[in-house]
Amino acid sequence: MRNMKSCNRTLPMVIAATLLFILFGQANLYSQDKKTDTNKPVTDTYVSGVFLENQTCIINDPGTTEMEISHRFGPFNSGHTLAWGIYSSANIGVGLNHRFKSKIPVFKDIQFGIGSTSTPMTMQGSLKWAALKQTTNGKIPLSITWYGAMYYDSRTTDKIIAPGHTFYEVDRLSYFTEILISRSFCKYFNLQVAPTFSHYNLVQVANPSVQQDSTGHVPAGIPIRKNSNFGISALARVKFTSVIAFMCEFDKNFNKILVPETETLTNPKPTIAMGFEFSSSAAHSFQLFVTTASGISYQRNMVYNQNLFARKGSTKSGLMLGFNLTRVFY
Q: Is residue 212 part of a domain?
A: no
Span 183-241, pLDDT tens digits = 999 989 999 999 999 999 999 887 655 455 555 454 557 788 999 999 999 999 999 99
- In sequence order, what are the beta bridge partners of 154? none
- The secondary structure of residue 3, as a DSSP letter, is H
Q: Is residue 71 part of a domain?
A: yes
Q: Is residue 32 part of a domain?
A: no
Phi and psi, residue 171, nearest 5°:
-65, -15
Q: What is the pLDDT of residue 6?
A: 47
Q: Is residue 187 part of a domain?
A: yes
Distance CA 279, CA 245 (A): 9
Q: What is the pLDDT of residue 22?
A: 44
Q: Is residue 165 part of a domain?
A: yes
**Res 79 pLDDT > 80:** yes
Q: What is the pLDDT of residue 43?
A: 83
Question: Which span out of 250-254, 258-262, 311-315 was modeled with the highest average pLDDT?
Answer: 250-254
149: domain range? 42-203+220-329
Tell me if residue 64 falls in helix, strand or coil. strand
pTM of the model: 0.85
Residue 233 burial (10 A CB sphere; 0-12, 13-18, 19+): buried
**Res 10 pLDDT > 80:** no
**Res 35 pLDDT > 50:** no
Q: Is residue 291 part of a domain?
A: yes
Tell me if residue 297 falls in helix, strand or coil. coil
DSSP per position, 220-265:
PPPB-S-SEEEEEEEEEEEE-SSSEEEEEEEEEE----SS---SSS
Q: Is residue 9 part of a domain?
A: no
CATH at 98: 2.40.160.40
Q: Determine what percent of the chain is predicted with pLDDT higher than 90.
A: 61
Residue 116 burial (10 A CB sphere; 0-12, 13-18, 19+): middle
Span 79-96, average pLDDT: 90
Span 116-145, pLDDT tens digits = 999 999 999 999 999 999 999 889 999 999
Average pLDDT of the chain is 86
Nearest to 116 by CA among 89, 141, 149: 149
**Res 11 pLDDT > 80:** no
DSSP per position, 98-130:
EE----SHHHHTEEEEEEEETTTTEEEEEEEEE
Q: Is residue 141 part of a domain?
A: yes
**Res 58 pLDDT > 90:** yes
What domain count does the chain have?
Answer: 1
Q: What is the pLDDT of residue 259?
A: 84
Task: Determine contact, residues 224/205, Cβ cutoff 8 Å.
Answer: yes
